[in-house]
A = this chain, B = another copy of it.
Amino acid sequence: MPDPADALSEHAVERLIAYRRHLRQRLMQGCDRIYSHDLAKPEGVTPAQVRRDLMTIGYTGSPARGYDAKGLITHISSLLDARSVGGFALVGVGHLGRAILDYLARQHPEYKVAAFDVNPDKAGGVTHGCRCYMLDEMKQVLTQQSMRVGIVTVPADAAQDAATRLVEAGVCGLLNFAPVRLRVPARVYVENVDIALRLEKVAFFALASRPKETQE
The residues of A with any CB-CB pair to B shorter than 8 Å are 3, 5-6, 10, 13-14, 17-18, 21, 42-44, 80, 83-85, 88, 94-96, 98-100, 102-104, 107, 148-149, 151, 171-175, 179-181, 186-216
Chain A to chain B: the 7 pairs with minimum beta-carbon distance, closest first: A173-B206, A95-B99, A96-B99, A83-B207, A95-B98, A191-B202, A189-B205
**A206 B6 Cβ-Cβ under 8 A:** no
Whether A3 and B95, one on each chain, are in contact in the complex, defined by CB atoms closer than 8 angstroms, is no
Given contacts A199-B175, A201-B191, contact A6 B210 (CB under 8 A): yes
* A215 / chain B contacts, CB cutoff of 8 Å: 192
Copies in the complex: 2
**Which residues on B sit within 8 Å (CB–CB) of A190?**
213-214
What is the bound-complex CA distance between A144 and B91, given in angstroms? Answer: 40
A211 and B193 contacting across the interface, CB-CB below 8 Å: no
When C-beta atoms are compared, the residue in chain B nearest to A213 turns out to be B190
Cross-chain contact A207 with B95 (CB below 8 angstroms): no
Would A202 and B173 count as touching, CB distance under 8 A? yes
